[in-house]
Chain A
Amino acid sequence: MASMKDIKQRKSSIQSTQQITKAMKLVSTVKLQKARTRAENANPFFQHVYNTVSTILAKSENISHPFLKSGDSDRIAVVVITSNRGLAGGYNSNVVKLITESGLPKDKIDIYAIGGKGRDSLDHKGYTIVSDDSPVMEAPTYDDAKEICDKVLDSFAKGEIGEIYLAYAHFKNTVVNVPTLMKLLPVEVDEEDVQESKVEAPMGFEPTDEEVLDVVIPKYVTSLFYGALIEAVASENGARMQAMDSATSNAEEMISDLSLKYNRARQGAITQELTEIIAGAQAIS
C-alpha cells in the first residue's frame, strides 16, 4: 500500500491539473460563444450567395465556364481546416481521418493546410502539403478566407489542379460537430435547391451570365471558406470544452478515490501505532 505521503503528493498533483482543465474549459466556453455569434452573423451572406449560384446554375445548361467543369489536371486540392492547438479530444484526428478514409487517391492529393495539427499529422502520413496558412486559425477574417480562396482558384485557373475539396468540422451544436468533406469546384448544386429557385421569374444577368459567374463563384467559394473557418473555430472550442469537462470530472473522481485511500492509510497508521503501544505495555507488565 502506498504511503500517506505518496498519496498526498499524487492528490495535490491531480488537483492542480484539475484547476488547469477547469480554467481551459471556461476559456473555451467564452471563445465558443464568440465564434458561434460570428458563425450566425455570417450565415445570411452565405445563404444568399448559395441561392444566387443555384439560380444561375439552374439555367446554365448551355453556359460553359471554367469553374463549372473539371480542369484538365488530375490533381485534387483538399483544403483542410483543423486547429493549431491540441487538447480538444478527437476533433483534429476526426478531420484527418476523413481524408485518409475518403477514398481519394493519396498520391494525387495536394493539401492546403489551415491549422497546424492537421498539417503535421497529414505530413507524417506522407501527404503532399503545398501550402500552410495555419496562423489564420487564431482569428479568421473574411480577408483571410479571400486570400486562401484566391490562391486555390488561381491554381485551378492555371490548370494545376482539377478539383477542389474542403474538409472541416461542421458545427452542429455545442456538443456535436460533424467532420465534413465537400466538393467546391467544379460547382455541384443539390437538385432540390435548384427546383426551388426555378419557381421565381426567369432571372436576367448583366453584363453577361459568364461575367456574373466570374464574380459570383469566387465569392461563393470565399464565403464557403469563411463559413467553414469560423465554424471550425466554434467546433474546436466546443470539442475542447467537452474534453476539458470530462477531464475535470475524471480528476474529481480520482481525487475522491485518493482521499478515501489517504484516509484509510491514515486510519491504518493510527491503528498500527496503537497496537504497537499496547503490545509494548503488555510486554512490560
Chain B
Amino acid sequence: MADEKNLFDIEIICPDRVLHTGRAYMVEFNTTEGQIGVFKNHVPITTVLAPGIVTITEGDDHKKQAAIHSGFATILQDKVTLLADIAELPDEIDVQRAEAAKQRAEKRLSEHADGLDVLRAEIALKKALVRLDIKK
C-alpha cells in the first residue's frame, strides 16, 4: 500500500524548530471538528488543531507519533504542514512531570476555588492528558 507514489511530504513546525520533516503514507490528527486522517491528494484545506496525538504512518508498519497542543494545519494535495505552538516527540516527554501537572489541574478543577481560571486549568489538564496518552 505504501507505494512511493502514494507518499506525500509532512512537516511539523514549532516556533523555535522544525520538529519533523519527511514523507508519509497517512497522517492522523485531531482538529476542532474531530479526528481526521489524511492521504495523498486530499482536498486543500486549512484547519484548526485540537490538542492530541499526531500519528504519521510512513510505511506498512512504520509509525511515528508526536504530541501537539495547539496550532493549525495546512493540507495540500502533496504536502501537509502542521504548525504548533507546542509540539513534542514521545521521548521528550517527562511522564512524572505530566502526571504531576494532571493531578494539579484536576485538583484545581474539583476544588473550584474562587477566582479559578477554569479555561486555563482545563487546558493544562488536556496538555497533561495528551502527554500521558502518547507515552502509553
Contacts and interface: CB of A to CB of B under 8 A. Distances in A.
A206 B33 contact: yes
Interface string B93-110: 000000000000000000
A202 B83 contact: no
A48 interface: yes
B48 A44 contact: no
Interface of chain B, main secondary structure: strand
Nearest to A56: B46
B85 A206 contact: no
Interface string A210-234: 0110011001000100100000000
B15 interface: yes
Which of A52, A146, A206, A216 has the most chain B CB within a 10 Å cutoff?
Answer: A206
A219 B49 CA distance: 13
A175 to B, nearest CB: 26
A233 to B, nearest CB: 13
B48 A204 contact: no
B17 interface: yes
B85 A205 contact: no
Interface in B13-59: 13-18, 31-33, 43-48
B72 A52 contact: yes
B44 A201 contact: yes
B6 interface: no
A203 interface: yes
B45 A203 contact: yes
Given A45-B83, A48-B81, A142-B85, A212 B72 contact: yes
Interface residues of A, number: 27
Given A219-B72, A223-B15, A203 B85 contact: no
Contacts of A223: 15
A49 interface: yes
Contacts, number: 70
Interface of A: 38, 41-42, 44-45, 48-49, 52, 55-56, 142, 146, 200-207, 211-212, 215-216, 219, 223, 226
Contacts of B33: 206-207
Contact of B74 (A41, A48, A142): A48
A215 B81 CA distance: 16
Contacts of B17: 41
Given A142-B16, A207-B33, A212 B46 contact: yes
A212 B47 contact: yes
Contact of B45 (A41, A48, A206, A226): A206
Contact of A216 (B14, B43, B72): B72
A55 B17 CA distance: 23
Given A142-B85, A146-B85, A42 B16 contact: yes
Nearest to A203: B44
Contact of B48 (A45, A200, A215): A215
A17 to B, nearest CB: 38
A146 B84 CA distance: 13
B71 interface: yes
A251 to B, nearest CB: 38
